[in-house]
Amino acid sequence: MKLKHALLCAFFLQAGHVMASPGAHGPNGEHLDQKASRADGGLGRQSDGSVIMPMKHQALLNIRTHFATESMADKHVRLDAIVKPHPAGYAKIQSSRDGRLDAPEAGILPSGSKVVAGDVLGLVRYQDTDYELASQTSELIAIRNRIEQTKRDVSRLKKLGELASKQALEQLETELLSLTQQSRALQKGLEKPEVLISPVSGVLINHAVSRGQWVEAGQTLFEVISPEQLIVEASTNDSHLPAILSTAKAITHPALNFNYIGHTPVRVNGLIHVNFELEKAAEAPALLVNQRITIQAPINEQQRGIVLPSDAIVRSQNNLPQVWIKLSAERFLPQLVKYENLQPGFVLVTQGLGADNRVVVTGASLLNQVR
């Protein structure tokens, strides 16, 4: 870019005379004047707004042109959208009870760490008061004593054989099973912590938790987001638009493709939310959750025009869209146009150009800077 700027500066200081060849016509067939209106015919910007640039400078600045041809193209709409996590690739990890957070063998992971479904993120140990601990311990001891006594009673009845009452034996066995289950539940509450496990694979968000922290039931401790599974939520006030949507592309990330999956059945603040699902890509997309983007979606309508790269459109001194037409080997003329946005990187010029105009498609912004 520095080289191009230096070449432009050197070009503006040169002087000379260039003769243009006839034959260029405007969008309505009108003849475009091939001669510079400035008397001296010097290089650079002319009084009629055209620019004279020698061929060698065009090559150095990579000025490239393309013959305009009309064609039919799908209309596109632009929508403001926000990136959200896909429900299939998002999880909140919360504690189901009060307690103190303890670290697993791998330690407490910081935000940005990659985790795999099944990884242990933390342990929550229930912490009783002294009275609660003594009461539960006493209850556990009593239940264990009852279990031992019931086992002896069952053993005694079995030794009696046919003389023993089957009904009494069944009641004792049922009571033994119930006492064993109570014992296990109490022991788990006293000794075993709650294990916090990641249900999905992705990138971890740590909500500023650390070892030894007191946590409450229902408190969100971690979040896991899969960067490959995202949803883009766009907004529109056109109730007919959702019926004709199919795919979309992000303006700033044209390599990403999104598929339309549906819209919300209610209006939110007067707008309809339409959702697009990110197609699976070989690499993780460079998108962040809650990032605001603009998407462009084709609709089931066609219009006639001239397809050009979006770099061909520049702004005039009055901030109006224009392109540069090559009138001759070394002369270029600005031409105001109207255009529609197509897929990212392309536009459809609907007014201002005629077929067979030689339009500058590369280097138009540099040509636009010539004074």
Q: Is the pLDDT of residue 18 over 50?
A: no
Residue 114 has pLDDT above 90, yes or no: yes
CA 115 from chain center: how many Å?
A: 20
CB 295 within 8 A of CB 249: yes
71-112 residue pLDDT tens: 888 888 889 999 999 999 999 999 988 888 999 988 999 999
Angle between helices 166-191 and 130-160 (to 10 degrees): 150
Q: Give the CA distances from residue 170 to residues 93, 182, 267, in Å, rounded to whole numbers and listed in that order.
A: 44, 19, 63
Q: What are phi and psi of 305, to 5 degrees?
A: 180, -165
- pLDDT of 293 over the 70 cut: yes
CB half-sphere exposure, 240, CA atoms < 13 A = 4
Around Cβ 340, how many Cβ atoms within 10 Å? 14
Residue 204 in this model has a pLDDT that exceeds 50 = yes
Alpha helices in 18-89 (DSSP H): 55-60
| Residue appearing with tokens 């536009």 | 347
Question: Stretch 320-324: mean pLDDT, rounded?
Answer: 92
Give me the helices (H) in the chain, please. Answer: 2-13, 55-60, 130-160, 166-191, 364-368
Instruction: Name which residue leads in pLDDT, 140 or 274.
Output: 274
Q: How far is CA 139 from CA 98, 128, 134, 150, 342, in A?
A: 21, 14, 9, 16, 74
- DSSP letters, 193-244, are PEEEE-SS-EEEEE-S--TT-EE-TT-EEEEEE-TTSEEEEEEES-TTGGGG
Helix (H) or strand (E) holding 103: none
Q: What is the DSSP letter of 282?
A: S
Flag the least confident range among 17-21, 223-227, 303-307, 353-357: 17-21
Opening angle at CA 312, ends 310 and 314, nearest 5: 95
pTM value is 0.61
Instruction: Dig out the tokens for 368 from the structure.
Output: 């636009």
Q: Are 178 and 204 spatial neighbours (Cβ–Cβ below 8 Å)? A: no
What is the mean pLDDT of the segment spanning 321-342? 90
Mean pLDDT of the chain: 82
User: Torsion over CA of 356, 361, 364 and 366, rounded to 10 degrees?
Assistant: -130
Could you read off the pLDDT of 24-56 as tens digits, one per residue? 555 555 555 544 444 345 678 888 888 898 888
Q: What is the pLDDT of residue 253?
A: 84
In this predicted structure, the answer to whether residue 21 has a pLDDT above a threshold of 60 is no
Most confident of 69-73, 125-129, 204-208, 327-331: 204-208
Predicted pLDDT at 224: 96
Residue 27 in contact with residue 322, Cβ under 8 Å? no
Residue bearing tokens 């609907």 = 350
**Residue 202 and residue 226 in contact, taking contact as beta carbons nearer than 8 Å:** yes
State the Cα angle at 35 between 333 and 27, rounded to 5°. 40
Asked which of 156-165, 227-236, 339-348, 351-360 is least confident by mean pLDDT, the reply is 156-165
